[in-house]
Structure 1
């Protein structure tokens, strides 16, 4: 369908689907209505009751308007009655894919006091469906090593060599990116009301004008962090909303 990421898993029945959903955490679930062990309506309710923040749609032979309206009221994004064409299915799924990739909105009850805000721990699960980067994070070499050490078996010698040379190895850079990816969802953009996502990680070895300007951003436009490994200088991280 032309989307850059489209991973599909199948389940033979609704109970297996619930198990798969719990472990795989998909963005969209397509289900039939009439199934032997659990009907699609029950599956839909189970997903919604668990507050899994998953889009659910139904493909079915049912075409009774009142029944379809009832399922929609339960939270189904759409009900597509059989038989249908590939084009019809694409027309239904396309806006859902766009919603998942670009515009998933967090609940209005979350109040943000600045351009970027850190939510309460109890709310983090709401922001796992991350979409678009709205900030730049700048890490010094110490912070990069701290992040990388959490996701790789970097030795003290590896870290020392990186700090002395000012060069982050590909292994360390990959581990640092993974750490940043795992934590980026905790930050929310006030304008779009979506959480952040790591798009790319680059090593910068020389100063340039825009980098200097970023460090001169006023306090209300940035969030500063520090992190440290035992026996190592404190690392600095600056997050700037753009």
Structure 2
């Protein structure tokens, strides 16, 4: 996803960019512009998905930029991050097509909530295909507990946790990709490194110092990774396509060192399309696992 930040204040550009990263959009491509004229040129050439614009700027204001985008029929979503609070002007912007008007100063959570409907629109557009398969039936928390502890020498406590947006505290993480017999990706399991280390260490029965060493190095030995791979293969046999009766197969386990737009979108899935759990072993600490329908 491409995001253009438009503000005549370099400090505010930095604040918006930092907030986007805090919201989990650090993996997005970002560009900066200092006024509407510069922004319009970037929009025409770069084609961003979202523009976050100030209102009052030299050369061309934000509302003038919005009018120019509308006149040129450019396909881009524009939201305002501004000190403008006058109700009449805010209504004017929304009537002209602004997706939101966020008042300065703002919190990271406020920016995340303002942008969330825009991301949902992209998801809806992508899923509008007539031949979209049915959602995969995900395992219950109890089933995940049974599968994991069938491999473990030390009991892994698994509890359901509230779902939430992706956050950089998940990084680095591992993505287990599951496919149906037609090789279509139908589900993805995301586990943070602490969670991965807990799974691997529980299968080996490691003591706490050895686990801490693995977590600090952010590197899992190959033999332990192979054990985790076997666990996720079994987990795939509990991911069911209710339409065909087929179970999924593990296609790959990939390492993610930084955030990516697709990763962030997965964490925007509604509760019925995901299962979120905390993994814990006494003396090991805790990690997190989320499984989402793709």
* TM-score bucket of the superposed structures, by smaller chain: 0.3 to 0.5
* Structure with greater proportional strand content: 2
Task: Indicate the structure whose relative CO is greater, using CA pairs within 8 Å and at least 6 residues apart.
Answer: 2
TM-score calculated relative to the size of structure 1:
0.43
TM-score calculated relative to the size of structure 2:
0.36
